[in-house]
């Protein structure tokens, strides 16, 4: 299926409680498709996770030597650890292959970012016992569960019981 076609969504994702459990159990996250480009979502997510989460992060990008001051690895198999979560920023057609790599290295969860939905990848991962999350952002989910998410998706730094009024 090409990335232009809209896949039929029959797969049911885990509840918020289950997503929180995946994040709480995890110690390490491998970001497949990590980028040094600040305009890329993977860069924004990596920056947030490095500064605001307890996870050990590993970056997978075969064309980068270093991302955000950390070594970049060519593949999941090259990582020095088995990642708990494989967070994927790759095009639709690459997702089943990445799911198989996650299975092959023994990861515990496959997490496909916002806009990523591939039922073939989910089936590969789930058949091997991995938890699967699709079309959700690790950064947003972590922030939601840890009090750092404002309605717009950003931590405003303001603690108030009053609802914020936005001038229009």
Sheet holding 85-88, edge to edge: 66-67, 70-73, 56-60, 28-32, 85-88, 109-112, 131-133
- For the chain, give the mean pLDDT: 86
Check residue 166 and give its pLDDT. 47
Residue 61, in any domain of the structure? yes
Residue 158, in any domain of the structure? no
Higher-confidence residue of 166 and 81: namely 81
Which residue segment(s) compose the domain that 124 sits in?
Answer: 16-145
Residue 120, in any domain of the structure? yes
Number of structural domains (the chain) is: 1
List the Cα angle 115/121/123 in 5-degree steps: 125
Residue 85, in any domain of the structure? yes
Residue 88, in any domain of the structure? yes
> pLDDT (tens digit, 9 = 90+) per residue, 77-113?
999 999 999 999 999 999 999 999 999 999 999 999 9
What does DSSP say about strands 66-67 and 109-112: parallel, antiparallel, or unpaired? Answer: unpaired
> pLDDT (tens digit, 9 = 90+) per residue, 32-43?
999 999 999 999
Find the CATH number of the domain harbouring 135: 3.40.50.720
For the cut 70, the answer to whether the pLDDT of residue 156 exceeds it is: no
Residue 6, in any domain of the structure? no
Higher-confidence residue of 25 and 167: namely 25
Residue 96, in any domain of the structure? yes
Q: How far apart are CA 3 and CA 5, in angstroms?
A: 6
Confidence of residue 145 (pLDDT cuts 50, 70, 90): confident
Residue 152, in any domain of the structure? no
């Amino acid at each position: 299926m090409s990335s232009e076609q809209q896949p039929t969504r029959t797969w049911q994702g885990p509840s918020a409680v289950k997503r929180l459990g995946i994040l709480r159990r995890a110690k390490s996250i491998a970001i497949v498709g990590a980028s040094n480009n600040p305009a890329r979502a993977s860069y924004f997510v990596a920056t947030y996770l490095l500064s605001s989460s307890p996870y050990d992060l590993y970056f997978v990008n075969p064309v980068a030597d270093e991302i955000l001051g950390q070594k970049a690895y060519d593949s999941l198999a090259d990582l020095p650890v088995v990642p708990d979560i494989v967070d994927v920023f790759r095009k639709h057609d690459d997702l089943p292959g990445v799911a198989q790599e996650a299975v092959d290295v023994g990861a515990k969860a496959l997490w496909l970012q916002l806009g990523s939905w591939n039922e073939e990848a989910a089936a590969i991962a789930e058949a091997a016992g991995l938890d699967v999350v699709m079309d959700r952002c690790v950064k947003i989910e972590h922030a939601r569960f840890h009090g750092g998410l404002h309605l717009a998706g950003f931590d405003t730094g303001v603690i108030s019981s009053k609802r914020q009024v936005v001038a229009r």
